[in-house]
Amino acid sequence: MLLVDILAQPDKTLTNELLSLSQLRAAGYNPSVSYEATEPLLQAQAYGLSKYKEPGEEAANTLIVLNANHLADDRAERIRNLKLCDNADVLLSAPDLDVNSHISLKNKYAIITGRTVSYLPSVTAGEAKHCATVSCGAPLNNLSNTKVPLCVLSPNISEDNQIWALQALSIDKQFDLRIITTGEGKQRLRGLLGNAPKIFHYSELSAVDLSCAQGILVVGQAPKKNSIAQAILMNSFVNGSVTINCSNAQLPPIDSAAVVGPHDLVHLPGYLQTSILPSLQILQEKSRQAIKPHLHSLQNVLAPMLGEPERSRAEDTSRTGEKKILFVPTNGVGLGHAQRCSIVASELHQQSMVNFAAFPSCIPMLTRYGFDTVPLVSRSAQLATPYANDLVNYHRIAANLNKGDTLVFDGGYVFDSIYRNIYEKQLHAIWIRRGLWQNTQNNSVALDREKAFNKVIVPLEALDALNQTISTGDHVYEVGPIAQHLELDVSQQQQIRARLAQQFQTPFRKLVVSMLGGGVAADRSAQLNTLCSYFEQQNDILHLVVIWPTAQVNPALYTWQNTKIVKTHHALPLIKSCDLLVSAVGYNTFHDVLYNAIPTLFVPQMASFMDDQAARATTASEAGLALDVEPTDFESLTYKIDEGLCPQTQASLTSALQSFNLPERGNQAAAEIISGAHNEHQ
């Protein structure tokens, strides 16, 4: 067993330590990690370290101590208590020490461990010798197999003309461009270029996941002391990419194998067209031939000290057998997202390959649809950190996916559990992203993570005035609204109403259904109490409050005689049989109303993180397809109920809904996009 000891210091980010671990794992080793943090870990550190198991009962035959020069008494005591084989090798990584300090430190660790101690050689290039970096990597997820992967590493963005050169490359259809820069550089580039280019900062993902494969790596500025940039450079070289040196410095040890490019990036697009693309395959072959004599690789540096890897890179990235399609609906409790995903998944022909990962509130519904579901952990104030639940979900999703599987995400924000798994598992990722975001929302962070997805499916709004363009590109696919449709004739509707009267022992002439949500996004108890009070005075009306089975119910609602609580995942037969629906204006319900011609009074729910329900309600009302009322206008609420139950209004709404030219539903089209993307990578 290989054991790595880490000390997390309060003024450090563990950048080099995590780099070493990820490179070792990519090389085929499975290191266990012993670490001590003097302060709580940052979020990125927590995700990075969580991938490595803690030391167990098995004794380690090799111990690597990173940043070994930080040796306080508590660390010495912890290392002394580690389980090591009698003949275990102890390897130290301690950069920037003079000869005497090296000798002294080596002797200290020999006394602590009682073993022979050696220094772990740095296999990075140039001056980046902060940690041992195994030169190996895996390809970053490509948006298209028809494009040439092009990675620009450490561009000089101090001048605007350099940035416009990058923009020109980002819109070139021949390239799948990634730009890797500092956090500050990414912020500047996004401010000028928007979300269209795929821009990463050095620590956004591991160096393995950021490395280019079988493409072109352009080095804008020599990495020098940047160990992550050095690792990306070496990994990309190993992965068979052509390295173009546009810096003013050498790139040891591969400088002789790199192609010299223009120092000014303004000339880069033309240089690629005339000098690189026509000879790309020849240059790639030259790079492959240049690896052995020039690269300080795992085989000739670390293998003699660490032993042969437990697995090869080929085994780790192989894609054999039938691949899975995992749907991950999220945000809040995720019920609306889960329902939309289940509608699309039901249209897929590869039913045996379809699974879900969803919150517990969604599982009963998905089970009824026949889908196996992995339970995710909901956010809770009881957890130690805000991201603690997502960290658990990160591992649950990873445990249920293999490299090359397909992940279909439906939600507004791409959490780290999704984002990291896409790259680490090399998934074929698809984002089902409904639109109608509020104008006041800042979704730049969410849109930045669109770059992880091979395809984005945008279910359109049925009313064209509501559609908005959030992002463009040949990876964005618009489909018709995703909605349910249920055929119920008059006799079937009457049977449902008769069963309700019998079940609740409440004869009625008119049926009103309220679906205002479960209170996750906005508290609707005031509106419900207003409705219940009103219907209590109407002896010929039965009022059903329909909610999800997992939603919490205010006990006061059970005291009303003419109001009954119905918990169900299948509300469509009820609302199809009612005289009037009083409803929030979420995507699913809104389109179920339109495609099933249900007379409705819309009461929008509005929260800062939600889509624009008020716009849906207003647009439908102005088109004569529904009634609407402001959520805080209690006085108008009962008047609107009276108006909605008026036979003339109901006839007008029903006629308008039935005659309105709705676009074709996109259920099958979305399924075909997912199926096509999945099949083309088998």
Residue 127 is predicted with a pLDDT of 40
Helix 587-595 vs helix 335-345: crossing angle, to nearest 10: 50
User: Where residue 66 falls among pLDDT bands split at 50, 70, 90?
Assistant: confident
Give the whole-angstrom CA distance, residue 508 versus residue 544: 12
Q: Which of 98-102, 202-206, 508-512 has the highest mean pLDDT?
A: 508-512
- Alpha carbon 315 to chain centroid, angstroms: 25
Tell me the CA end-to-end span of the chain in Å, nearest whole number. Answer: 35
Average pLDDT over residues 85-113: 88
Domain ranges of the chain: 2-119, 148-299, 325-482+668-679, 490-659
Instruction: Classify the C-alpha dihedral 106-112-117-123 as positive or negative.
Output: negative
The domain covering 325-482+668-679 belongs, at the CATH homologous superfamily level, to Glycogen Phosphorylase B; (3.40.50.2000)
Residue 141 is predicted with a pLDDT of 53
The first and second tokens of residue 401, run together, are 């996916």
Residue 522 is predicted with a pLDDT of 59
Same fold, 2-119 and 325-482+668-679: yes
The mean of the pLDDT values for the chain is 86
Name the CA radius of gyration of the chain, rounded: 30
Assigned CATH class of 148-299: alpha beta
CB 475 within 8 A of CB 456: yes
436-453 tens-digit pLDDT: 877 766 677 788 999 999
The first and second tokens of residue 599, run together, are 């007379």
Global confidence as pTM? 0.90
Phi-psi region of 602 (alpha: psi -120 to 50; beta: other; left: phi over 0): beta
Kindly state the percentage of the chain with pLDDT values over 70: 89
User: Where residue 129 falls among pLDDT bands split at 50, 70, 90?
Assistant: very low
- Asked if residue 428 has pLDDT above 50, the reply is yes
- Asked if residue 521 has pLDDT above 70, the reply is no
Q: Could you tell me which of 212, 11, 226 has the C-alpha nearest to residue 131?
A: 226
CB 63 within 8 A of CB 113: yes
- Asked if residue 520 has pLDDT above 60, the reply is no
- Asked if residue 133 has pLDDT above 50, the reply is no
Q: Is 564 helix (H, G, I), strand (E, B) or coil?
A: strand
Average pLDDT over residues 324-348: 88
Residue with tokens 């962070």: 445
The CATH code belonging to domain 2-119 is 3.40.50
Give the whole-angstrom CA distance, residue 306 versus residue 288: 25
The first and second tokens of residue 621, run together, are 């009302």
641-653 tens-digit pLDDT: 999 999 999 999 9
Give the whole-angstrom CA distance, residue 596 versus residue 576: 7
- Asked if residue 416 has pLDDT above 90, the reply is yes
CATH entry, 490-659, from 3.40.50.720, 3.30.70.360, 3.40.50.2000, 3.40.50.300: 3.40.50.2000
CB 674 within 8 A of CB 432: no
Residue at 468: amino acid letter: Q
CB 653 within 8 A of CB 599: yes
